[in-house]
């Protein structure tokens, strides 16, 4: 049981390059999320998904796209990277709140540190 | 609109002192969930507690305790007899509907 995994752990891009971050979970969670963490800003939600084949925008979706073709995977894409997208990206998954027990929460991956030059 | 405010950006305490981390939330939803997470220097996010909006009972877990007051929209976190291992950034979060909203975090340093 690996929980939530993220690939890659580190990446350096040049402005204008594209890349995809992969998130995988093995807990059969319905919900998956992508966040970015910047100094002094906390975690901000980029996009989320409430089930296979569905995605929705979060607080800061501009410049990112996502896909959830399989229940266990949630991909985050940057089509044309910008220095403002330098950040630490966290993926998370959870049961739906209605299904969750009192001790359930989002389970986070280890994070991906992305630098855009 | 949903919002979580952690007004304390940084706190330093001497080991064995008690410390309280404040969290104030805003939501118009009647059903919501509140969380605290710990992010140690290693960077991972560690779940500490979840509280439902309809359960205002305070909770104690070892040296940790949480005070939930709907009247003041607060969900404060107290560490008793702090230890160096408590040094971390602590995040309060609000879950309503399908989204989570995080505060900006409080960086706690426990000085030996």
* Tens digits of residue pLDDT in A3-32: 999 999 999 999 999 999 999 999 999 999
Q: What is the pLDDT of residues B23-66, one digit of tens each?
A: 999 999 988 999 999 999 999 999 898 888 988 888 888 999 99
CB A61 within 8 A of CB A47: yes
Task: Give the sign of the dihedral formed by CA B100, CA B1, CA B56, CA B88.
Answer: positive
Chain B residues with beta carbon closer than 8 angstroms to that of A31: 98
The number of beta carbons lying within 10 Å of the beta carbon of residue A61 is 16
A103 confidence band (pLDDT: 50, 70, 90): low
Among B31, B34, B50, most A C-beta atoms within 10 A, so best to mutate, is: B50
Chain B residue with the nearest C-alpha to that of A30: B98
For residues A26 and A1, is the Cβ–Cβ distance under 8 A?
yes
Sign, CA dihedral A53-A92-B27-B33, equals positive
Task: Output the pLDDT for position B58.
Answer: 84
Distance of alpha carbon B40 from alpha carbon B37, whole angstroms: 10
What residue of A is the nearest CA neighbor of B42? A110
Q: If you average pLDDT over residues A73-92, what whole number do you get?
A: 96
Examine the pLDDT at B104 and tell me if it is beyond 60.
Answer: yes
A vs B, Cβ pairs < 8 A, gives: 48
pLDDT of A40-79, one tens digit each?
888 999 999 999 999 999 989 999 999 999 999 999 999 9
């Amino acid at each position: 049981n690996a929980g939530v995994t993220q690939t890659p752990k580190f990446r350096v891009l040049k402005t204008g390059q594209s890349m995809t971050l992969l998130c995988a979970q093995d807990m059969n969670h319905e919900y998956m999320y992508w966040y970015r963490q910047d100094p002094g800003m906390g975690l901000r939600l980029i996009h989320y998904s409430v089930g296979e084949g569905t995605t929705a925008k979060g607080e800061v979706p501009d410049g990112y796209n996502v896909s959830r073709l399989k229940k266990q995977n949630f991909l985050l894409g940057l089509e044309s990277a910008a220095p403002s997208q330098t950040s630490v990206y966290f993926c998370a998954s959870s049961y739906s709140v209605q299904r969750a027990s009192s001790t359930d929460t989002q389970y986070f991956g280890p994070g991906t540190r992305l630098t855009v030059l | 609109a949903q919002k979580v405010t952690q007004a304390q950006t940084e706190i330093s305490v001497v080991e064995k002192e008690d410390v309280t981390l404040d969290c104030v939330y805003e939501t118009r939803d009647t059903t919501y969930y509140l969380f605290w997470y710990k992010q140690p220097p290693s960077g991972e996010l560690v779940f500490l507690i979840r509280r439902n909006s309809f359960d205002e009972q305070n909770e104690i877990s070892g040296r940790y305790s949480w005070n939930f007051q709907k009247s003041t929209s607060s969900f404060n976190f107290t560490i008793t007899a702090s230890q160096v291992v408590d040094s971390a950034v602590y995040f309060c979060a609000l879950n309503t509907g399908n989204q989570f909203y995080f505060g900006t975090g409080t960086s706690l340093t426990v000085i030996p």
